[in-house]
Homo-oligomer: A and B are copies of this chain.
């Protein structure tokens, strides 16, 4: 099930689930039309590599559904995740020919791809795409910088708490629920992927997750289903300000 299937290929931008968040968010009807003509869908299975670092990249695109990772690898095999790609996130860089990172599908994913050249042409003469891409890139830069604080200065326990907080918050906003009361969600990452994300070993991840469980901060159902009982307490453990700006 790797190729375009008729169902997804026939999808119209109008009812696209990421219509309001992706690079195309600002586009007018006529611009969408134009994007429609250069777009195509691709599916990848969980575990599949979308692009290898250094490979020639003739497309850019958005994650429509599923989760992927951006990873850097050193010659000796050490790896560090440098990006977590969620639905609506953009892959690839206009003006660059080779991929700078490995992109790997964590779950099954659907991508909305644009051939690179036409997309770049479009960026040059319709400002809405470029504007939105700038906005998204600035957001990613902020996220990368927050992540640098996590990697550089937080303890293993704080790192795990930070990751759980990020995932929980994202999940809450996706499902349009608040962060009061218990929050339950599925961990999209294996222990190893979490370790890659946080600059830890998988053993340390496992130990710290167990510790948070023992301390009553979280409950596990199986290995992946997590319940957070008190989000603000979790933020404390993450070393973050828990002044998340609630009600009065």
Contacts and interface: CB of A to CB of B under 8 A. Distances in A.
Contact of A148 (B78, B93, B138, B144): B144
A152 B75 contact: no
A44 interface: no
Contacts of A152: 80, 151, 198-199
Interface residues of A, number: 38
Interface in A153-186: 153
A83 interface: yes
Q: How many copies does the complex hold?
A: 2
A137 interface: yes
10 contacts: A72-B149, A75-B239, A79-B153, A83-B145, A101-B145, A127-B127, A130-B130, A134-B134, A141-B144, A148-B151
Interface of A: 70, 72, 74-76, 78-80, 82-83, 93, 95, 100-101, 127, 130-131, 133-135, 137-138, 140-142, 144-149, 151-153, 198-199, 239, 241
